[in-house]
Amino acid sequence: MISQSTIDTVFETARVEEVIGDFVQLKRAGSNLKGLSPFVDEKTPSFMVSPVKQIWKDFSSGKGGNAVTFLMEHEHFSYPEAIRYLAKKYNIEIEETEQSSEEVAVANEKESMYLVSEFAGKYFHDILQNSEEGKAIGLTYFKERGFSQDTIEKFGLGYSPNVWDAFTKEAIDKGYQLEFLEKTGLTIVKEDKQFDRFKGRVMFPIQSMSGRVLGFGGRILTNDKKAAKYLNSPESEIYHKSKVLYGIYHAKQAIAKQDNCYLVEGYTDVIQFNQAGIENVVASSGTALTPDQINLVKRLTKNMTVLFDGDAAGLRASIRGIDLILEAGMNVRVCAFPDGEDPDSFAKKTPLEELVRYLEENAKDFIQFKASLLMKEANNDPIKKADLIRDMVVSISKISDRIKREVYMQECSRIMDISEDVLFNTLAQIDKKEIADANKKFKAEQKEKAFDVVKNENFQQQTKVNIQFELEQKIIEILLLYGNTEEEFEDVFLKADEEGELTEVKEYRKYKVFQRIYMSLQEDEIELANPVFKAIYTDLINYYNQTDEFHMEQYLMQLQPEIAGEVTSILMNEEKETLHNWEVKQIFVKQKEQTIAQYVTETILSLRWYWVNSIVEELKQSIGHETDKDNAETLSLVIDYLGLTNVFAKKLGRVMSRYS
């Protein structure tokens, strides 16, 4: 296990904005940072990071937490994995404590698969560098491709020996279980034997955005016609081909910095571009581009440049990918290389300055690219030209931004020499069909739900405002934000004068906010009804009583993940206003820090008021149900409680006027 001192050092050192900045493009929003949610597909930022509080909140998905919980949510790390990742990022030495046999036994399956993959990456790389076969075959191949030693190290390139079970034997000897060798696809298990999937291939580790090895691509070097030239790891718990982009780990920071991503097809294209000095490049690894892959890039930039060679199959694949990129709301440019060249070969022989200049000068807007490409195919055939124009309008229809649409329609009209009216009519027909299809789908879904009474009732219940929930949430928010703050509060009590008559006396005394809340709720014997809020409340009161200073990072560290998530949600609720840029619209949100005592008093009085009203309602119902019983005592209680609500109303009015 990782020692507590290491965990403490990680939390003290890690900056949430730096950690999340590796995955999400963040922009300044007042004292906070905002960006597009990395968990859902959206066009308007709802993801907020608070450098001051060292927490984040995604208002679209409801997720939130600190740097560690972000890694657990985004990268699906376990808690120890997240700590190890941060320790590596900040060069913190990890101290280990001895694990019990029970702790070893509960290590989860995914972590075991990650560990097997990490071991395989190191094994293949070591074979490439240090074995006679690896150096003679694998290393020679990479050197012939023009890859330097630094590049080979950077991408962890390797070689799998041309022996049926060399890797499998080594892994089992080192204590790795055959179960996980099979589940990662590294080993193929038959009834009476097991053998290596990647026997006799040069190896390309495929990494996640955080650098974890998910799977491998292996290229065979012999002319065996029965064997596939490239072989990928099969789908597994940790490797989903459609959700991974080769090179994203090495490219992410450059993509965010350059605000552009180059998309290529193969592993060697990525590696050669990196070696040339252009790092913001990723590959779809020979598969058709998918929405999940596009969303990986969209977290970092809205601009993508598709690079391709001149073969017809590659061009067609590029066109299909372009429509998907447009549909995701991204800007697309396309760059073709000279005949006979691909990104790998061109980058290999072209100096960096010339390569950068070529990309800048030859990257075309997608509409120009599509027009020039398809016009060659039309070859002055009017029917083919009509199909081509319709094809271009279909692409433009994928763009959600109406201004961009109009600009592209005008450009299409100019290039294709056809009136804008005809193009817009065609676009309207396409839009109409899509709307009709969407309506048809919606009606079908509604028909299925027509008799789902329970779900409908649940939905109605959820849409009702739960006043008690809101008030209890406010209590927790106040404790989190201002619990240790000392404020002046108004105390009212009765005092006998010289003649023995009781008069109301007001005094102003200083209390810490948490003390005031605790005493007020104790006085009325009020307990929070929501079990999560009740747990947080109890924990906070104990925490404040045991420490003189409140540090949010330290407090979040000792919470259970589900409680920590709720705490973060409450903390970031007040930051939600900054997503809307109210100040730009000349609307200024009042800050609670200016009137903390008022805010505390209002909330407590409102909770008391709600609590008393609930009792009154219960008493009224009991009167209605028991008509044959003498209800005089109950009615007297109702009158007393109603008197209390009047007192609360007056106090609330006085508090609000005093601080307004």
Distance CA 215, CA 240 (A): 9
Please give the structure tokens belonging to residue 207: 């990494």
Distance CA 492, CA 500 (A): 18
Q: Which pLDDT score, from 0 to 100, does residue 223 have?
A: 82
Q: SS in 3 state form for 139-194? A: HHHHHHCCCCHHHHHHCCCEEECCCCCHHHHHHHHCCCCHHHHHHCCCEEECCCCE
User: Domains of the chain (ranges plus CATH)?
Assistant: 4-89 (3.90.580.10), 109-239 (3.90.980.10), 251-260+289-431 (3.40.1360.10), 466-550+590-660 (no CATH)
**Which of helix, strand or coil describes residue 218?**
strand
**Alpha helical stretches, state H, 398-496:** 402-416, 420-449, 453-463, 467-482
Q: Which pLDDT score, from 0 to 100, does residue 460 have?
A: 42
Beta bridge partners of 204: 217
Of the candidates 67, 59, 88, 83, the residue with the CA atom closest to the CA atom of residue 20: 67
**Strand (E) or helix (H) holding 121:** helix 109-130
Distance CA 610, CA 537 (A): 19
pTM of the model: 0.62
94-98 contact pairs (CB < 8 A, 24+): 94/2, 94/3, 94/6, 95/2, 95/3, 95/5, 95/6, 96/1, 96/2, 96/3, 97/1, 97/2, 97/3, 98/1
Q: Which pLDDT score, from 0 to 100, does residue 379 have?
A: 66
Neighbouring residues of 508: CB distance < 8 A, sequence distance ≥ 6: 488, 489, 490, 491
Backbone phi, psi, residue 76, to 5°: 60, 35
Tell the residue number behind the tokens 């009509």, with chain if given: 386
The rounded average pLDDT for each run of 10 residues, N- to C-terminus, in the chain (660 residues) is 85 92 89 87 85 85 84 78 89 78 59 93 97 96 96 97 95 94 95 92 93 94 84 92 93 87 94 96 84 88 86 60 85 88 93 95 84 69 80 81 82 82 81 60 53 44 62 86 84 65 73 85 78 85 80 73 74 63 44 68 80 74 61 68 62 46
**Alpha helical stretches, state H, 504-579:** 513-523, 531-546, 552-557, 561-573
**Which of helix, strand or coil describes residue 334?**
strand
Distance CA 172, CA 182 (A): 12
- The residue count for the chain: 660
Q: Which pLDDT score, from 0 to 100, does residue 154 have?
A: 96
Distance CA 60, CA 44 (A): 10
Q: Which amino acid appears at position 260 of this protein?
A: N
